Homo-oligomer: A and B are copies of this chain.
Amino acid sequence: MQITRETDYAIRCVYYLAGKPDEVTMVDEISKEMCIPKSFLAKILQKLSRAKIVRSYRGVKGGFRLAKRPENISIDDVIKATEGPVAMNICAIDKKQCGFSDRCKIHPVWVSLRKDVEGILKNKKFSQFIA
**Residues from 22 to 49 in A contacting B, C-beta threshold 8 Å:** 34-35
Chain B residues whose CB sits within 8 angstroms of the CB of A116 once the complex forms: 116-117, 120
Q: Which residues of B contact A83 (CB under 8 A)?
A: 1
Residues on A facing B (Cβ under 8 Å):
1-4, 8, 11-12, 15, 34-35, 75, 79, 83, 86-90, 99-100, 104-106, 109, 113, 116-117, 120-121, 124, 129-131
Q: By the criterion CB–CB under 8 Å, are A1 and B86 in contact?
A: yes
Besides A1-B83, A75-B106, A116-B117, 6 more A-B contacts (Cβ < 8 Å) are A1-B2, A1-B79, A1-B87, A3-B88, A8-B90, A75-B109
- Contacting A87 at CB < 8 Å: which of B2, B11, B35? B2
Q: Point out the residues of chain B lying under 8 angstroms from A4, CB to CB.
A: 1
A104 CA to B116 CA in the complex, in Å?
Answer: 24
- Docked complex Cα distance between A106 and B3 (Å): 13
A111 to chain B, nearest CB (A): 13
- Taking CB atoms, residues of chain B closer than 8 Å to A87 are 1-2
A3–B131 CA distance with the chains assembled, in angstroms: 34
